[in-house]
Chain A
Amino acid sequence: MRSFIVFIQKEWMELVRTKKFFILLCVFALFGMLSPVTARYMQEIIIMVMGDTMPLTVAPATWIDSWGQFYSNLSQMGGICLIFLFMGCITGEKQSGSAAMTLTKNLSHTNFVTAKFATATAVFFLSLLPAALICFGYTHFLFGYAGEIINVLLSVVAYAVFMLTLLAITVLTSAISRSTTVGAILAFCGFIILSVSGYVPKIGFVLPGTLLSKTVELSFGTPYSGMIWSLIISLCISALCLYLSVLSLKRQEI
């Protein structure tokens, strides 16, 4: 446990000093700010671009569009950012040789992997929560209403669990790969599979992909059947990925 905490402190220092944390924080905050504004002024933007001679049948934007925009942006850019920031979390240390020095100092492979995942998770949450608050605030300011807090929280949880699964997959691909590029390609494949998993016939509604596609419905209070199962299955996939990462790293000669 001691070495786990020490390694978390080191990971935290790395994420702060290499500016990775601030990059993620800024990207998420930017989307939290821009999404309500884009939703609110979309009609005006279209008129400005296309001219007012075109007949427009765009319905007036509501607070729901604001959350729709937020999750639409974050489901793509959020995932891409996470992969880019953490794709080398283990391969980088293996390639540079710093893992060899650290793993010969009473730090177990389990603590090495789980501390990396825990810190990445913390950084992700610390970026997501302010972004969601900013989006909530701006939506409320622009539309007069931003939804029930509990529903908004539920949608944030659904999105966060999906991204945690993606983070665990990124850690796994980084652990099993010899190069960062291979790890990144595998992580992107995992991202695509996770995203489309919700469309698998019959079982799709309990797979992680549904968590992402139902975030907007959740924000206005429409939980879908199978949500609990998709949360459980996503967490199980994350745990399995971490277990496989440790197993793979233990068998590797560094």
Chain B
Amino acid sequence: MTYAIETIGLTKQFGAYKAVNNLGLKIPEGSICGFLGKNGAGKTTTIKMLVGLAKPTNGSIFLMKTERRFGHCNNSAIGYLPDVPNFYGYMTATEYLDFCGKLYGMESKKRKSRIDELLKWVDLLGVKTLISGYSRGMKQRLGIAQALMNEPHVIILDEPISALDPIGRHEVMEIIRSLHGLVTVFFSTHILSDVESVCDYGLILEKGKVLADDSIENIKKKHSSNTAVIRLCSSVDGSRFHSLAKGRVDLTIEEKSPVEFIMRGENMQTLGRCVPSMLSEAGIALESYKAYVPSLEDIFLEVTANA
């Protein structure tokens, strides 16, 4: 597997405080990666180091196998959108993208066709007003367009949806979704449902350390491997089962409703053996038994609470 973004022992220290601690990232090429973490977890610091705007205290960064250095201005392979994008308000969207294209050394003809293509993509084609008159959502969409101007291999977006209303958020997420397979997208956010719906790769950062780093599917599998949801036929059976399960040391039980329970054991095999035998011994009828797939939010809360 080739990695679009790779960091080795990436550390950023402010005095005694480690904002990013020995971070080892391996983001597969072509994936859409959601970079999750609470406020102050170190997401923006990591992103700034990735794009060369902040100097790592330690460690190395490789983008498309090329090592990045602080202050290095050759960014042809990447596109970047900061958390609060600020454009030159006296320009129009076309002029700003043209300025970006010129900085990347793109030829006039290619620039023009790329600008039209991108403005159409982010639904700003034909908007003639100056950027200073744009709404936040429009600025964020233009921000994504400028990050894509040079046809980069990787785009790094810092909280592209955090300041937007639901409609703006939806529009930006749709744009990100449409990038799947075209470029590697690495974006930070704390809106977990969006990551769940759009990303195929997830990273959870807390206090500068990675707590989870895998495909969304694997993260969910990993955190559901010891949990099952059982549903019984009656509430009488439910209360009997609840009192039986509470007495066991190898199981934990959480009541979702009088007939539905979340069971946790050492692993799925243990659960698969213990729960049916308990039910059979007590003569309780089982309606359904299924492995529990937690939402990303459940996983996020679980791993950050344990950190």
Interface positions of A (Cβ within 8 A of B): 2-3, 6-7, 9-10, 13-14, 17-18, 96-98, 100-109, 250-251, 253-254
* Main DSSP-derived SS at the B contact region: loop
A18-B90, A253-B48, A253-B55 known; A101 vs B146 contact (CB < 8 Å) = yes
Give the distance in Å from the alpha carbon of A253 to the alpha carbon of B86 in the complex. Answer: 17
Contact for B75 among A14, A106, A251, A253, CB less than 8 A: A106
Give the distance in Å from the alpha carbon of A107 to the alpha carbon of B86 in the complex. Answer: 17
Task: Chain A residues near B66: list those with CB within 8 A.
Answer: none
Give the distance in Å from the alpha carbon of A15 to the alpha carbon of B307 in the complex. Answer: 51
Contact B104 A106 (CB under 8 A): yes
Chain A CB count within 10 A is highest, among B53, B71, B73, for B73
* Main DSSP-derived SS at the A contact region: helix
| Stretch from B77-85, B228-236, B259-267 that touches the partner | B77-85
**Which residues from 71 to 99 on chain B have a C-beta closer than 8 Å to any C-beta of chain A?**
71, 73-76, 78, 80-82, 84-88, 90-91, 95, 99
Q: When A and B form their complex, which 8 residue pairs have the shortest distance between CB atoms, in order from nearest?
A: A17-B90, A97-B86, A96-B86, A6-B102, A105-B103, A253-B54, A98-B86, A108-B73
**Nearest CB in chain B: distance from A1 CB, A:** 11
**Nearest CB in chain A: distance from B69 CB, A:** 11
Q: A98-B86, A104-B73, A105-B73 are in contact. List 18 more A-B contacts (CB 8 A).
A: A6-B99, A6-B102, A10-B99, A13-B90, A17-B90, A97-B82, A100-B53, A101-B81, A103-B53, A104-B52, A105-B100, A105-B103, A106-B104, A106-B105, A107-B73, A108-B73, A109-B73, A253-B54
Give the distance in Å from the alpha carbon of A106 to the alpha carbon of B105 in the complex. Answer: 9
Give the distance in Å from the alpha carbon of A212 to the alpha carbon of B49 in the complex. Answer: 46
Task: Chain B residues near A9: list those with CB within 8 A.
Answer: 99, 102
Task: Chain B residues near A254: list those with CB within 8 A.
Answer: 53
The verdict on B148 contacting chain A, using a C-beta distance below 8 Å, is no
**Nearest CB in chain A: distance from B43 CB, A:** 15
Give the distance in Å from the alpha carbon of A152 to the alpha carbon of B72 in the complex. Answer: 46
Contact B103 A6 (CB under 8 A): yes
A6-B99, A6-B103, A109-B73 known; A104 vs B53 contact (CB < 8 Å) = yes
Task: Chain A residues near B95: list those with CB within 8 A.
Answer: 13
Task: Chain A residues near B103: list those with CB within 8 A.
Answer: 3, 6-7, 102, 105-107
**Nearest CB in chain A: distance from B150 CB, A:** 8
Contact B90 A101 (CB under 8 A): no
The verdict on B51 contacting chain A, using a C-beta distance below 8 Å, is yes
Contact B80 A101 (CB under 8 A): yes
Give the distance in Å from the alpha carbon of A2 to the alpha carbon of B107 in the complex. Answer: 12
Could you give 16 example pairs across A and B, Cβ below 8 Å?
A97-B84, A98-B88, A100-B53, A101-B81, A103-B53, A104-B52, A104-B53, A105-B75, A105-B100, A105-B104, A106-B76, A106-B103, A107-B73, A253-B48, A253-B53, A253-B54
